[in-house]
Structure 1
């Protein structure tokens, strides 16, 4: 007796047509640089709206105070603070004078906000 075996028939998939566009190394670089420039142009266009106002702001009226021996920033701010909020006046003095610490030296000149009563 003989045995008959059936093998599945192999049908190759139809060949896809090859694209006629092939990018070389230089072509990929050109596409990358162009895309990068496009992204940067969009970023600059969107960031153009983040500008200041057209009118100048009102400068804060200030006066110069010379630090004497024993003066502290808290003491100077408490003399100036009209509403009793010493911490906000201290912060304002630090900002006006670009102070990194609250330590003061005798003879140092500080710009402080003018007391408005």
Structure 2
């Protein structure tokens, strides 16, 4: 005696061609999936644009030192040592460049008694 009408659907299995596996079949996205991919692409693009803009806006301003506006060169002083003493938290290379530009110097050789304007 057969219960439930006696007929059940039979599941068929088809073999893939040799060398082809299930992962190599093309991906099919639903409308919802395409919208999610598009939204993610827009979000990533906006994030990259915002990050680039933040880097450009936060670019290092011209070096401005607080305190003395001039320094008198002492024997043994170098631009490197002066830059370290007037702006210990700043990048010394930037401070040296700013001192060179401010004083119109072409050379880093200093003379004792020389007065340097600080940026």
TM range (shorter): 0.3 to 0.5
Which structure dedicates a bigger proportion of its chain to helix? 2
**Taking structure 1 as the reference length, what is the TM-score of the superposition?**
0.42
**Taking structure 2 as the reference length, what is the TM-score of the superposition?**
0.42
